[in-house]
Amino acid sequence: MKFRHTTSSGPEKVEMQMTPMIDIVFQLLTFFLFSFKIAAIEGDFNVRMPVAGPGTPDAESQLPIKVRLAADAEGNLASIHLADRALPNFRALHEQVMNIVGSDAGPNAAASSAEAELDCDYNLKYQNVIKAITAISGQVTPDGHIVKLIQKIKFAPPKKPD
Amino acid sequence: MKFKRNTYEMNAEPDMTPMIDMTFQLIAFFMVLLNFGESEVDARIKLPSSQLAKPADTPLEAPVVLQLTDDDKVIFSGEPMPISELDRPLRNEKKFIELSGGKVADATVILRADGSAKTGIVQQVIQKCQDNGFERFALRAKQELEEDR
């Protein structure tokens, strides 16, 4: 049997088929591109609230700090009271808390045992609660470190609207 | 002036190598950034911001994530429901934690509540969790930069 020998004039160029690979690669790229979203960094305020906790004084706590947040009809913050004393803003609340539990050098021993109770109106917007917790629970030093103040935070029982 | 004209046929194939290099680099970049853990984060919730909100050093073990929208709906496992129906899934979670040998009191409930949600509703959700034995709560907030204040 004879095979015909192909006589080519030069070396044959074998080309790789790029098209299917590029198709798939672009599909992958589009998938990752669309599933990409920029998420803000999130953090937690850890609060321990046993069932009997709200409303009942803790035997260990030395300084019960009562913060009252009142809301207007729209749910915006109307007033801040720290133990019957009206405060203009959260910065003032933070300064008052600093006077009670801390100094410029940092929180004193009272901070670890102090407890704060938040008494909020039912329709108050939640962001005000977070602002109050921020003012009570710590501060950020200019070099970016967090100094913890009061860590024991609890809520007064919710007030049902009439 | 006369120009010489090329009579032979040119093999005009574009060089694909740099493009494929770049495309693979882009794919690798987006692949690394893709975070499947964020699937529990609902875009409808606009978290309140706080300068003290820093991500935890150690991730919580098997937390229960509850999300509260500004129209008083709780999103649990991607499903929105009114607060009155929250008891059943919480009981299931409790059973699941107890069956896997854990204590409900040690489990953490991550509460992602919208900044415009009513505080009373947030407290109601906390109360429902307390009724089912949960004691630890993590109130979630997004990080606020110093310049935003």
Calpha distance A45→A10 (Å, rounded): 75
Could you give the CA distance from residue B44 to residue B39 in angstroms, rounded to a whole number? 13
How many angstroms separate the CA atoms of A62 and A55, rounded? 15
Residues of chain B above pLDDT 70, percent: 85
Contact (CB, 8 A) for A31 and B44: no
**The pLDDT value given to residue B148:** 46
DSSP class of A37: -
> Do A17 and B103 contact (CB within 8 A), yes or no?
no
Window 61-90 of B, Cβ < 8 Å to A? 68
Q: How far apart, in whole angstroms, are the C-alpha atoms of residue B67 and residue B74?
A: 5
On whether any CB of chain B is under 8 Å from the CB of A36, the answer is yes
| Closest CA of chain A from B56, distance in Å | 7
Mean pLDDT of chain B: 82
Whole-number pLDDT of residue A26: 92
Top pLDDT among B76 and B36 is at: B76
Give the model's confidence band at B149: pLDDT under 50 very low, under 70 low, under 90 confident, else very high: very low
Instruction: Convert the pLDDT of each residue in B83-130 to its tens digit.
Output: 888 889 899 988 988 898 888 888 888 888 998 898 899 998 998 898
Q: Tell me the average pLDDT across B53-59.
A: 76
Q: How confident is the model at residue B15 (pLDDT cuts 50, 70, 90)?
A: confident
- Count of alpha carbons within 13 Å of B44, Cβ hemisphere only? 14
This complex has an ipTM of 0.74
Q: Please give the backbone phi and psi of residue B24, each rounded to the nearest 5 degrees, phi first.
A: -65, -35
Rounded to whole angstroms, how far apart are CA atoms A125 and A134?
15
Let me know the angle formed at the C-alpha of B41 by B37 and B46, rounded to the nearest 5 degrees: 150
B52 contacts A45? CB cut-off 8 A: yes
What is the percentage of chain B residues whose pLDDT exceeds 90? 6
Does position B142 have pLDDT exceeding 50, yes or no? yes
Residues sharing a CB contact under 8 Å with residue A95, sequence separation 6 or more, in sequence order? none
How high is the pLDDT of residue B25? 93
CB pairs under 8 A between A and B: 166
- Cα–Cα distance measured from residue B122 to residue B104, given in angstroms and rounded to the nearest whole number: 20
- Among residues 30-59 of chain B, which lie with CB inside 8 Å of chain A? 30-31, 33-35, 38, 41, 47-56
DSSP B8-77: SPP------HHHHHHHHHHHHHHHHH--GGGGG--TT----EETT----SSPPSSPEEEEE-TTSEEEET
B42 or A93: which leads in pLDDT: A93
Region of poorest pLDDT, from B33-42, B50-59, B111-120: B33-42
Cβ-Cβ contacts under 8 Å, B120 against chain A: 120-124, 158-161
Q: Does any CB of chain B come closer than 8 Å to the CB of residue A76?
A: no
Q: What whole-number distance in Å separates Cα of residue B130 and Cα of residue B111?
A: 13
> Measured between beta carbons, which residues in chain A are less than 8 angstroms from residue B122?
126, 129
d(CA B85, CA B96) in angstroms, rounded, equals: 18
Average pLDDT per block of 10 residues along chain A, 162 residues long? 57 80 91 80 80 53 76 86 85 84 62 79 89 85 77 80 63
Burial group, residue B148, by CB count within 10 angstroms (0-12, 13-18, 19+): exposed
Tell me the residues of chain B between 102 and 141 that have a Cβ less than 8 Å away from chain A.
105, 108, 110, 113-120, 122-124, 126-127, 130-131, 135-141
Residue type, B19: M
Distance from first CA to last CA of chain A, Å, rounded?
104
Domain B49-148, CATH among 3.10.20, 2.40.160, 3.30.420, 1.10.150:
3.30.420
Q: CA A147, CA A123: separation in Å to the nearest integer?
A: 31
Distance CA B141, CA A87 (A): 24
d(CA A159, CA B108): 25
Domains located in chain A, CATH noted: 63-155 (3.30.420)
Stronger pLDDT, A160 or B136, i.e. the higher one: B136
